[in-house]
Amino acid sequence: MPQPAPPTERRNPRTAAIDTLASGDVLGLLLDEDARAVEAARAATGPLARAVDETHLRLGRGGRVHYFGAGASGRLAVLDATEITPTFGVARDLFTAHFAGGAAAITDSSVDREDAEPLGAADARALGDDDVAVGITASGSTRYVAGALRTARAAGALTVLVTCNPDAPLRDLADIVVVADTGPEALTGSTRLKAGTATKVLLNAFSTALMIKAGRTYGNLMVGLVATNAKLGERAVRLLAEATGEDAATCRAALAEADGRIPEALVRLLTGCPPEPARAALDAHPGVRAAVAALRGRAG
């Protein structure tokens, strides 16, 4: 007898006749299912918050976040990890995405190493007890992820499972299980759809919440971004203007004096302090708000 299909592999009665509909109705059904995926992700806030808090503690001790995945889930993990440095200005190795089969498999789906449990184990071998291993698998059964989580746990790392299957076979390998119960896909088994939407929402929320806790924002302003092009340079000026109420010319000058470092420019604009105290305060405190409070307290 075949094994029971996970929820993501079952047939969706709401879309059974999707191939008979006009394009607008097809799109409506697909987007309705995506909306269900976002609600499923929202329902996982409790365990996701625990994962954020536990990970934050480990990053404070010098740990790193490692994503492990294959297929659509793994590609979403690669996307999230890749965006962290330009968005928040952190070290490139703070988040690392390990994909079953390596770089070649990311763009070539014929290189399928999803079932390679020893490969997952090998990719997790360098993790230590301050690190965090996040396994991402819609079905909750990917063997590559199993190998990674088992090895990471043996090393003392925090293990987190992000899945769309409430009965995920790998849940016993994780300290924290984050489940977005998305149910059957609009197209049976195509987890790049609703499960993919939920996975992206969860990973975005996880990494962004971590960076907020680390002081990489000021309010809801993304002051840790790295301005690598003209568009981002102008965004940096706008961020400074929003945060301080200063005009664009003043913000542009402060940014130039800080060699493009937005947090330093912002601390100087908010406190009026010289460059060296601004840098020292940022080195000593987690984020702009804490650095500004320290400088103002010292001045008082």
Which residues participate in catalysis according to the annotation? Answer: 83, 114
* Phi/psi of residue 136, nearest 5 degrees: -120, 115
> Which tokens belong to 42?
């929202």
For 156, residues 6+ apart whose C-beta sits below 8 A from its C-beta are: 128, 129
Residue 24 neighbours by CB distance under 10 Å: 8
Closest CA to 194 of 8, 5, 2: 8
Three-class DSSP category at 215? coil
> Which tokens belong to 171?
């849940």
Closest CA to 67 of 199, 240, 249, 237: 199
d(CA 27, CA 64): 39
Residue 17 neighbours by CB distance under 10 Å: 10
